[in-house]
Structure formats: structure tokens, C-alpha cells
Amino acid sequence: MSLQQFPAVVPVPRPLPAPQADEPPRLTARTLEGLEWVLARELAAVGAIDPRIGRRTIEFSAPPGREKETLYRAVLESRTAIRVLEPLGRFPVTSPESLHAAVGSIDWREQLRVSDTLRVDAAIHDTFLTHSLYAAQVVKDAIVDQLRTPSGRRPGVELRGATLRLGLHLVGDTATVFRDAAGKSLHQRGWRTGEVEAPLSEVLAAGILAIAGWIPGEPLLDPMCGSGTFVIEAATAAAGIAPGLLRARRKGHGFFRFRDCDRDLAARLVAELEARVVTPAGVFQASDLDPRAVAATRSCAEAAGVAAAITVGQGHFEAVRPAERHGLVVANPPYGERLALPRAGALFRRIGDWLVHHCGGWRAAILAPDTAAAGHIGLRPTHRVPLANGPIACRLLELEIRPRPVGGAPSGAGVAATMPAPADPAPAPPSPGVGPRAGVPRRGGGRAVEEQIGDFRRRLAKRSKHLAKWARRVGTDAYRVYDRDIPEIPLVIDHYAGWLHAAEYERPHERSEIEHDVWLERMVEAAAAEIGVPHERTFLKIRRRQREGGQYDKVDARQTLVDVTEGGLRFQVNLSDYLDTGLFLDHRTTRALVGAEADGKRMLNLFCYTGAFSVHAAAGGATSTTSVDLSNTYLDWTRTNLALNGFKDAGRHRTLRDDARAFLEHRARRGEPPFDLVVVDPPTFSRSARTEVPWDVERDHAALLGLVARNLTPGGIVYFSTNFRRFHLAEEAIANDFTLREITSRTIPEDFRNERIHRAWRLVRR
């Protein structure tokens, strides 16, 4: 089979003009943006005539005498329609009252019984109403008012599974009322049985296959199959299984419930569709790294009746090898909700490398976010087709991976690649979850990445096995697994209750930016595979040298919140939005010391961050805790952590927004009762709009501790710590107020191999 060509891309249609009240309404089909011309061809195939193609909308007519047949066939046989709407009337309207009267002029007794249920969806534009829900309510009131019996019985409203689903389109002064011939979205084929993260819409999958020019008989490969939408859509098409057939068998389409349904016609059409079903011919190959996705694909394929035609494997896409010499690779890689867009660039580069080195002779249709990340695929697309995957603007990248004679030099990035056609499928790479990549970057002539990954995984295996046992023994599920143990892999890997949080400490290297992104992704992938964490539960942050308290900078907005345990207490961490997660793991032992000394004491937590020290003190029996910070975000977080552990008494456990120095000065002047226990764990440097002078721990700690002494009972205890490596404690300046003892060695936990992670002192008020 020769390499099939991609069809030409059809221009995006303009929105249809606003309807006129005297213009008779026509059958209307809705689809996703970018699939309009595909849907128009499908409607023509079932008998539609005179189509008007607009943005996400096709208006069409039916041949005289075949109106119901065309409508039913559109519902049963279209793969890219979301809804098929049958008009019930079009009216000039100028007010809610006239809309009510117009809807009431339809004889609803032909549509509904009193015992039936109803749903109305409204779309309004440039009209006298400003809220679509109110417009829908007017329509429902008009119908119910007509059908209400003297005893007060009336049709009920049902959001799911309503007997009759109506659509109101109110544009300007023209209202059109439709009934939905499908009843619910046509993307629901009836075979989806499992759930995976961000499943691809069946309508979008079918549209992509059509845009790419796939026809039954061409081998199809999806190396990131999710729940198998692409291969199942293709296999059902090859088997002649109409997209609406499974629902039709259960009479699950809306028109089966219509009082005027032509049941003989419907039965004849369903029988005709049943007669078309054959054993699908062709190769349908699917794979995914997530075993849950593999199970979902198999379950969905079984429900769709095509399980025998689809080969499903589990593994990394880089280990997948096409089973044929030519065909179509189609993929919806993770991005957006499943993978932060900054990390998607590395993934797309790896996809491009895999296509070049293992898919010569194939075409590829890759759904990519409409961002710079997709450009890193390194291949020049034949076409870039605008599409939307839910709320994410995308491009379908159509690529031709042309074969070339064995022995030629690899193509450069940015051109249509040519590589040898594959022979027998290659074996999977030796490291699970990490595939081979040609042109592996090296660090200054050092070792290849595969060698680094091998050492990295062996180190992780040893440490994670030991630390998992240790963590169970000490009662925590949040701990550090790897701490820059191998100098050429300067990563920190933390485990949070089944999630992985990785941070890179930037160092010089000789990789290009995209090569380094790929290197980082492969290291995080290797860590996830070794520790046993799904890749979608990993987060990667980059820590750069800076002076101004970078751990507080927001880097994302997804709010991936996870509850973890420590010493029988619960804490909420945010793995996505900040460089730090909200729980400093290196202070675990220090928090335990504070908790052990808190019984019967009044405790103050300065620079409280998310209040972990306050929670430990409260659990240790403190009579009260006061948590002070300038950030409302962290004070809210502190209250959350206190509440998670049952400390909801705001009078006993106060949270105050204030500068630490100003709080202590004002409190001392007012002569308020002193504290017995104080925790001071300040940032190295911070600047706030509420303070004229920025905080510098080296410069300001002595003065702060002096203020603490004025607010502390004799014999009161201060735990002071800092992460500033070049810090020098001003012992002479604080000697008059405190006796002090450095306790750093006691406070470095077992999971921290970096003994310079912090320094800590226990100060006692003279």
C-alpha cells in the first residue's frame, strides 16, 4: 500500500446570518468547531439536500416525502453530529409575554402527555432577554400552562432522560423552537463503560479520522489511546456499525419517544443498519502507559462489539512499534488538564523523535494544543487544522513520515522527516516507562542519558524501599525519596500520599532548552515508574537561584490539593500552584519537638506559612495558638489545616494578618500576656507592600528575637530556624535575652541526606 495523502483542508465556515421570522425553519444539526464540512458530507449521504453550512451548524432539508427518514437516518448514522434538531415553529417575538404566547400557540398535546417529562435548553443572542435560563423558563411555563389539568397535574421537568427535549433559539426578534431528535448528545454512542482522565469526545475522534482521510483498510495506530476512542470509532466504522445503532437497539434515541414516531420506519432503518454489520477488516493497534486506560479500552471495545479486531497493549509510546509498513498514527497526547502546557513541549519533541525513528512510511495526525509546545515536535506539518478539544484551542498536525533508504542521515528538525520503514517490531526498551531516543544529549561529553537513567532508577529503588518502610514506622506518607544524590541529576523527589513532586535545581549543562526539557521529562518519568506513581500524578518545578523568597511565587492555578498525614495529623498540600507545596518536610522533626513541649503553653507561630507548627502545638496540648503571616492565602491554608485536625475554635487558635515585627512591637506596648512557646521560621528574604523595609534574615533576625524576648515568659522557649546556608547567628546580640543551643543535627529527618537543608536553635528566655 502506498502512502495515502491527506485531503485538502476546507475553509472554516462563517456563522449563518440571523434568521428572519418569515423564513421557514429547517432541520438543523450541530457539531464541534472545525467539523462542519465533515458533518455536511455525512448528512448528504443520508439524503439531506440544500445544506447551509455555518459555524458549528448545518441547516438542511429533506426530499419531499422523506422528511422523517432523513431525520432518523441523520440521528442514527452521523458520526460527527452532536445534535439533530427538528423545527416545531418560528415566530416574531418582542417580549417575554409574546414569547410565551408564541410557544403556547403550538399544540403541545401532540408532543407530551401529562405524565411525560420535559427539558428546555435556550440559546439567546442580541435580543430582549439577557439570561438564557429565564428564556427557557418562559418556554416551560407556556407548555405547562397549556397542558395543566384541572386537578393541577402537569408534565415534570427532568434534566436527564426527559421524554421531550426542546431547544429555543432566540436571535433578535425571532424565536425558533426545536425538538431534539436524539434526546441527548450523539457523542454518547452507548459503548463507553470506563472512565479515564480527559476522555476524548467520540465526535471529535470521528471528525479527526475523517479530516485525516482515514478509510477502512488503512492500518491505524494510537500509542496514547486513553479509553480507546480513536481505534473504537475506526473499528466500528470498518465493521459497518452505525454510531447510533447501540442506542437504537435500546430505543435510546429521543425520536423513539415522540408520540408521532413512525415506528415501522424506525424498525426498518434499524434492521437495515443491523444488516450492514460485518467483521471489521484492517489493523487497529492501541497502547497506553496507564493500565487503567488499557482496561477501559478493552472494556469499551467489548461493549462496542469490536474487541476481537483491536490489539491493545500496555507500555510507553516510545516502546510501541507499528505492526505494518504503512498506515495512520493518530494520537491525543496529554496537555492542559492532564499535563501542564510548559511540560508538553518536551513530550511533543519525544513524539516527533519516535515518529521519525519508528514510523517511516506512515502518516500521523496529532491533536496538539495551539501553543508553542506543539512546535517542538520538530516536523513540518502538511496541514495544521484548527480544532477545539473542549475549552482548549488545538491544531490537528498532519505529518507525513516518509521512508528513505537505510543508511541515510537523519532529517533535520523542522522538515518532513524521512526514515527507513520498520521491519519486525522492535523490543521494548530495558527501562520500563522510558523509551529510546536517538541523538541522546550528553553533559559535557559525559554519559548517555540511558546510563544516567539506569543509575537514577537503581538509586531510587534502594532509597524508596528503605524510606517507605521508615515512613510507615514514623507515621507519615509525605517524605523525600531523592535529594540530588547523583550530582549530574540535580533533582529533588518528594512523595506525597501516592503523588510525586519533583524539583530541579538549575545547574549549567550543554543541552539545548528543548533537549533539557526532554531530559527532565524522562527523569521524572523514570522516577514515577520506579516508585510506582502514575505519570499523571507527577509535578515538576524548576528552582532558580533568587534572593526574594521564590517558594511563595505562584507558578500554576490548577489547585491539585492532596491531604497527607504526619504523626497522626493531617495536612493539605498543593502540588501544582507553588514552588513549595505547603509543608516543609525538612521540619518534620522540629514540628514534633514543638508538639512535645506545647502542653499547657500559649504558643506563637511567626511567619506561620500554612500553620503546620500551630497544628502540632495544638495537638500537643497548647492552651492557645496564634499564627501570624502577611499572606491571606497562607492564613486561609492555616485555618484549613487546623480544621482538618479538629481545631476549629477561632478564639483558642487565632490567625492574624500582620508583619511579625509590627505585631510584636504593638503587643509589647499594649502589655498583653506573654507567650510560653514561640516558633520563628522566617524566609531568607521577603518584600511586602504592607512593610516599608523588606525582611532580610541575616540582617534582621537579632532585632526580631529581641522583640520576641519582650513577649516571652521567663523560661519560655523559642525554636528558631532558617534555610539560608550562609547564615550567621548573632549570638552576642541575643545572649543577654537567651541561653541558646544549636539543635540542627537533631532536626534533620532520616529522609534528608542534605544536612545543610536548614539550621535550627532552641533558645530559652533568661
In a domain, 555, yes or no: no
Q: Angle CA(615)–CA(621)–CA(625) in degrees, nearest 5?
A: 50
Q: What is the mean pLDDT of each run of 10 residues along the chain (766 residues)?
A: 80 92 94 96 97 96 96 98 97 96 95 93 95 96 91 87 94 97 94 78 98 96 96 98 96 93 97 96 94 94 96 95 96 73 82 95 94 90 94 94 60 40 39 39 60 95 95 96 93 96 86 88 94 91 59 64 97 93 97 97 97 98 97 96 96 95 92 96 85 88 97 97 94 95 96 92 97
Tell me, yes or no, whether 503 and 369 share the same domain: no
Q: What are 485's three cell numbers? A: 544524590
- Of 514, 545, 576, the one marking the end of a domain is 545
Task: Show which of 258, 274, 290 is a domain's final residue.
Answer: 274
Q: Are residues 628 and 481 in the same domain?
A: no
Q: Are residues 207 and 181 in the same domain?
A: no
CATH number of the domain that residue 668 is part of: 3.40.50.150
Number of domains in the chain: 4
Per-residue DSSP letter, 156: E
Q: Quick one: pLDDT at residue 337?
A: 54
The pLDDT assigned to 446 comes to 56
Q: Let me know the angle formed at the C-alpha of 756 by 751 and 761, rounded to the nearest 5 degrees.
A: 100
Sign of torsion, CA 86 89 92 93? Answer: negative
For residue 400, give Cα distances in angstroms to 6, 215, 374, 381, 439.
9, 16, 16, 7, 21
Residue 485 shares a structural domain with residue 399 = no
In a shared domain, residues 42 and 161 = yes
Looking up cell 491525543 gives 332
Residue 505 has a pLDDT of 84
Answer yes or no: is 215 within a domain.
Answer: yes
> Are 493 and 566 in a shared domain?
no
Closest CA to 421 of 351, 379, 361: 361
Classify residue 357: in a domain, yes or no.
yes
Asked if residue 443 is part of any domain, the answer here is no
The tens digit of pLDDT for each residue in 85-105 reads: 999 999 999 999 999 999 999
- Whether residue 118 lies inside any domain: the answer is yes
pTM over 0.95: no
Q: Report which DSSP code applies to 374.
A: G
Which ranges in 532-587 belong to alpha helices (H)? none
Domain contains 226: yes
Has residue 438 been placed in a domain?
no
Residue 631: domain span: 561-765
Per-residue confidence (pLDDT) for residue 651, from 0 to 100: 93
CA separation for the pair 596, 588 (Å, rounded): 13
Give the CATH number for residue 33: 3.30.2130.30
Residues 329 and 226 in one domain: yes
Q: For the beta carbon of residue 67, count every other beta carbon within 10 angstroms.
A: 14
593 within 8 A of 719, measured Cβ to Cβ? yes
**Residue 552 within any structural domain of the chain:** no
Q: Do 254 and 320 fall within a single domain?
A: no
> What pLDDT was estimated at residue 336?
57
Distance, in Å, from the CA atom of 447 to the CA atom of 445, rounded to the nearest integer, reads 7
Measured between alpha carbons, how far is 450 from 444 in angstroms, rounded to an integer? 16
Residues 233 and 97 in one domain: no
What's the pLDDT at 430? Answer: 37
CATH number of the domain bearing residue 512: 3.30.750.80
CA distance 464 to 751: 10
Same domain, 231 and 127: no
Looking at the structure, tell me whether residues 1 and 132 fall in a common domain: yes
Q: Do 319 and 362 fall within a single domain? A: yes
Contact 478, 494 (CB under 8 A): yes
The predicted pLDDT at position 152 comes to 83
Phi–psi pair at 104, nearest 5 degrees: -70, -15
User: Cell numbers of 388, please?
Assistant: 477545539
Instruction: Check residue 72 and give its pLDDT.
Output: 98
